[in-house]
């Protein structure tokens, strides 16, 4: 099955599962299925909220930026996003008359993942990551990264162009979003991506921390790498020390879609459930202040983005949401 077909099947199953849960719990299902596009990273959180709310949703996990293209064309009610909306999609939404509310729902650590048999590369510097992933990289073996490491093949895996994870990782590691060495095997299908790493002792990959921790079938075959001595964790993300690979996760909600009581109810349920759903899908929950600020932003129907088209800008999220 191709990644595209897998994503379509997953979206269909998510909708069926939500309906089944609603029937079992006695909750009324929504009149209309809610179309949700975007991030494969955020998709598990959204799907978990939908299950808990008994909501019929169709989640297509095609990547944040590919999702924004559909969202800004008015094709979806909500876009899952692992980066703040970039300027080109702000312009696209404005041109199409699509207004939206930007809602942070969790924190993520971009995880660098290797095979569990790799016992030497437990800590790398950001400069070494650049040497591995830069467009002009000449690295072919682990020894090319550090002379004391084995002279064995290094194989790169990750997320594809069109995903917020790809854009964030390439910006933070290589200095420009979209710039990366050729030959990276990539997929928006997280099960496929983690499976590749699990099958390859020479693998190195990048993905969201929840995608790594939630990879039940392959979890024992994978391990994360510390960056400049800092391991990815909730504490290190919240205190700012896991830099530059920590980031907020979002949903973007079309104000037109909010004319539907189903969509409004789902977003309200999302904001009430976000902390628990983030934790249960292995991401990092927002603290109470940020959670309350996001809920207030939605209640007041504040539109637009606090990042002003620069998803990598330095923004104090709490201050921006409450100012």
Residue 21 has pLDDT above 80, yes or no: no
| 127-175 confidence digits (pLDDT tens) | 999 999 999 999 999 999 999 999 999 999 999 999 999 999 999 999 9
Residues 185 and 89 reside in one and the same domain: no
CA dihedral 247, 248, 254, 257 (to 10 degrees): 130
Number of domains in the chain: 2
Confidence of residue 31 (pLDDT cuts 50, 70, 90): low
Q: Which residues form the domain of 269? A: 3-106+248-322
Task: Say if residues 242 and 107 touch (Cβ distance below 8 Å).
Answer: no
Question: Where is the domain boundary, 238, 259, 280?
Answer: 238
Q: Is residue 243 part of a domain?
A: no
Sign of CA dihedral 186, 50, 284, 103: positive
Q: What is the pTM of this model?
A: 0.87
- 200 and 93 in a single domain? The answer is no
Confidence of residue 28 (pLDDT cuts 50, 70, 90): very low
Question: If phi over 0 gives left and psi between -120 and 50 gives alpha, with beta otherwise, what is residue 189?
Answer: beta
Confidence grade of residue 68 (pLDDT, cut at 50, 70, 90): very high
Same domain, residue pair 119 and 217: yes
pLDDT for 238-254, tens place per residue?
888 999 999 999 999 99
State the sign of the Cα–Cα–Cα–Cα dihedral 317, 79, 212, 53: positive
Same-domain pairing of 53 and 117: no
List, for residues 166-207, the tens digit of each pLDDT value.
Answer: 999 999 999 999 999 999 999 999 999 999 999 999 999 999
Domain end (from 188, 207, 238): 238
- Name the more confident of 40 and 21: 40
Q: Does residue 54 contact residue 27 with C-beta atoms inside 8 Å? A: yes
Residue 293 forms part of a structural domain = yes
- pLDDT of 58 above 60: yes
Q: What is the pLDDT of residue 2?
A: 38
Whether the per-residue pLDDT at 97 is higher than 90: the answer is yes
13 pLDDT exceeds 90?
A: no
pLDDT at 10 over 70: no
CA–CA distance, 188 with 109 (Å, rounded to integer): 17
**Per-residue model confidence as pLDDT tens digits over 259-302:** 999 999 999 999 999 999 999 999 999 999 999 999 999 999 99
- What's the pLDDT at 101? 98
Instruction: Enter the tokens of residue 113.
Output: 């993942």
End-of-domain residue from the set 238, 267, 293: 238
Same domain, 117 and 166: yes
Are both 101 and 176 inside the same structural domain? no
Q: Is residue 219 part of a domain?
A: yes
User: Using 50, 70 and 90 to split pLDDT, how confident is the model at 22?
Assistant: very low
pLDDT at 87 over 90: yes
Q: What's 167's domain CATH number?
A: 3.40.190.10
């Amino acid at each position: 099955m191709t990644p595209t077909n897998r994503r379509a099947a997953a979206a269909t199953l998510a909708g069926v599962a939500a309906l089944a849960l609603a029937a079992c719990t006695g909750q009324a299902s929504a009149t209309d299925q809610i179309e949700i596009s975007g991030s494969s990273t955020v998709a598990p959180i959204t799907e978990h909220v939908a299950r808990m709310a008994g909501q019929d949703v169709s989640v297509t996990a095609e990547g944040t930026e590919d999702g924004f293209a559909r969202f800004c064309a008015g094709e979806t009610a909500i876009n899952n996003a692992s980066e703040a909306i970039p300027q080109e999609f702000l312009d696209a939404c404005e041109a199409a008359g699509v207004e939206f509310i930007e809602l942070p729902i969790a924190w993520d650590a971009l995880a660098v993942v290797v095979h569990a048999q790799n016992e030497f590369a437990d800590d790398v510097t950001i400069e070494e990551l650049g040497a591995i992933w830069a467009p002009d990289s000449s690295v072919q073996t682990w020894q090319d990264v550090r002379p004391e490491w084995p002279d064995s093949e290094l194989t790169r895996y990750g997320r594809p162009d069109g995903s917020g994870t790809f854009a964030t990782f390439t910006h933070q590691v290589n200095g420009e979003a979209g710039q990366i060495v050729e030959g990276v095997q990539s997929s928006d299908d997280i099960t496929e991506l983690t499976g590749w790493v699990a099958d390859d002792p020479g693998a190195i990959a990048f993905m969201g921390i929840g995608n790594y921790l939630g990879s039940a079938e392959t979890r024992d075959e994978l391990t994360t790498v510390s960056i400049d001595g800092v391991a990815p964790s909730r504490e290190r993300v919240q205190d700012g020390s896991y830099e530059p690979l920590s980031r907020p996760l979002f949903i973007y909600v079309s104000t037109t879609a909010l004319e539907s009581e189903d969509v409004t109810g789902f977003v309200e349920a999302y904001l009430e459930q976000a902390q628990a759903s983030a934790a249960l899908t292995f991401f990092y929950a927002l603290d109470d202040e940020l959670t309350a600020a996001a809920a207030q932003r939605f209640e007041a129907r504040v539109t637009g983005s606090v990042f002003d088209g620069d998803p990598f800008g330095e923004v104090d999220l709490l201050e921006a949401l409450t100012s």
